């Protein structure tokens, strides 16, 4: 079960890989455009400053949850690192997109994405990744909030046409819904609520299907790790190998504070 964090809140499964470590290649990306997708999300498009370096790092990969560690330089010379899903990497063309949740004026990456202009440069390391939908599963369960939506979008695009299952996406209100293409047998539902636990309730309410499920569940950490994980692991007895689950952010904590929370959680769970 790849329920660990990219920063090392536990070991990933054998297929997993981590981004952001010094041994991962660093690529400089140049912003080529910014598009407002919804009131809460912007898509920023990038082109690699050096396409060969980009191709070496992004090379062929089957993982749909590929993520990069972005370094935001600070006035004191330090870097603040933030983690984002790398969407639609074009290895030969040297381009990639990132969909950023714009969650107000707090933080580093959200405000940066809201205001960024073409020509700006940013260094990234990665990508890491650990999940791609298993085509042999009987059905798929994809659940996320807006932070996990880019990875769920990529997973839906990689599913075979005959795939069955559910994709459940939690957004604050209907204006935050986006176009999402899914195989006919995968039922997409949008949970529009400002209640933090709404995704938990929605996942619990899904009619459980027979057969082997492959699940991908990522979003706010409390909802995912303390709400959905016990449901899937204990009540539904999902085998570890069939579940990719982790918090992507933690309400009330910066990414640094969230990393500390994950370490505490991992230590508490041994």
Ligand X SMILES: Cc1cc2nc3c(=O)[nH]c(=O)nc-3n(C[C@H](O)[C@H](O)[C@H](O)COP(=O)(O)OP(=O)(O)OC[C@H]3O[C@@H](n4cnc5c(N)ncnc54)[C@H](O)[C@@H]3O)c2cc1C
User: Residues 9, 20, 94, 107: which binds ligand X (CB under 6 A)?
Assistant: 107
Closest to ligand X by CB, 139 vs 250, is 250
Phi/psi region, residue 119 (left: phi>0; alpha: psi -120 to 50; beta: rest), is left
C-alpha–C-alpha distance, residues 237 and 125, integer Å:
35
Residue 60 binding ligand X, by CB under 6 A: no
Closest CA relative to residue 190, chosen from 182, 199, 181, 115: 199
Residues of this chain, 213-252, that bind ligand X according to CB under 6 A = 248-252
Closest to ligand X by CB, 57 vs 139, is 57
Closest to ligand X by CB, 95 vs 139, is 95
Residue 46 binding ligand X, by CB under 6 A: no
Listed in order, strand segments (DSSP E) in the chain are: 26-38, 41-48, 67-73, 79-85, 87-90, 95-101, 121-128, 139-145, 165-171, 186-192, 213-220, 243-249
Q: How many residues bind ligand X (CB under 6 A)?
A: 25
Residue 71 binding ligand X, by CB under 6 A: no
CB of 211 to ligand X, least distance (A): 28
User: Residues 58, 63, 67, 216: which binds ligand X (CB under 6 A)?
Assistant: 67
β-bridge mates for residue 183, sequence order: none
Residue 178 binding ligand X, by CB under 6 A: no
User: Residues 254, 263, 265, 266: which binds ligand X (CB under 6 A)?
Assistant: 254
- Nearest residue by C-beta to ligand X? 107
Residue 54 binding ligand X, by CB under 6 A: no
Asked if residue 219 lies in contact with residue 148, where contact means CB atoms within 8 angstroms, the answer is yes
Asked if residue 47 lies in contact with residue 121, where contact means CB atoms within 8 angstroms, the answer is no
CB of 217 to ligand X, least distance (A): 13
Closest to ligand X by CB, 45 vs 82, is 82
User: Which listed range, 10-18, 77-85, 131-139, 190-198, lies at the site for ligand X (CB under 6 A)?
Assistant: 77-85
C-alpha–C-alpha distance, residues 119 and 104, integer Å:
24
Residue 177 binding ligand X, by CB under 6 A: no
β-bridge mates for residue 140, sequence order: 165, 214
C-alpha–C-alpha distance, residues 11 and 25, integer Å:
21
User: Residues 58, 84, 139, 261: which binds ligand X (CB under 6 A)?
Assistant: 84
Asked if residue 55 lies in contact with residue 93, where contact means CB atoms within 8 angstroms, the answer is no
User: Residues 17, 108, 123, 180: which binds ligand X (CB under 6 A)?
Assistant: 108
Tokens 């529009």 correspond to 192
Phi/psi region, residue 165 (left: phi>0; alpha: psi -120 to 50; beta: rest), is left
Residue 21 binding ligand X, by CB under 6 A: no
Binding site for ligand X (CB under 6 A): 6, 67, 82-85, 99-101, 103, 106-110, 147, 150, 248-255
């Amino acid at each position: 079960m790849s329920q660990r964090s990219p920063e090392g809140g536990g070991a990933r499964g054998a297929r997993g890989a981590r981004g952001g470590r010094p041994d991962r290649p660093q690529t400089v990306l140049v912003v080529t455009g910014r598009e407002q997708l919804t009131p809460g999300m912007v898509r920023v498009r990038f082109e690699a400053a050096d396409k060969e370096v980009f191709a070496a790092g992004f090379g062929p990969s089957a993982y749909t949850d590929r993520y990069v560690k972005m370094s935001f330089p600070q006035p004191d010379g330090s870097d603040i690192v933030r983690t984002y899903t790398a969407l639609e990497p074009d290895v030969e063309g040297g381009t990639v997109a990132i969909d950023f949740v714009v969650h107000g004026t707090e933080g580093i990456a959200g405000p940066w994405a809201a205001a960024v202009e073409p020509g700006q440069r940013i260094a990234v390391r990665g990508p890491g990744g650990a999940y791609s939908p298993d085509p042999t599963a009987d059905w798929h369960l994809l659940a996320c909030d807006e932070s996990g939506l880019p990875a769920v979008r990529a997973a839906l695009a990689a599913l075979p046409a005959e795939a069955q299952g559910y994709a459940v996406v939690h957004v604050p209100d209907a204006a935050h819904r986006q176009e999402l293409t899914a195989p006919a047998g995968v039922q997409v539902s949008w949970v529009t609520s400002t209640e933090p636990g709404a995704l938990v309730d929605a996942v619990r309410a899904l009619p459980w299907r027979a057969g082997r499920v492959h699940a991908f569940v990522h979003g706010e950490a409390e909802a995912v790790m303390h709400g959905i994980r016990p449901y899937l692991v204990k009540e539904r007895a999902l085998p570890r190998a069939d579940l990719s689950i982790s918090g992507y952010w933690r309400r009330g904590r910066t990414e640094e504070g969230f990393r500390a929370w994950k370490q505490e959680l991992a230590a508490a769970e041994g």
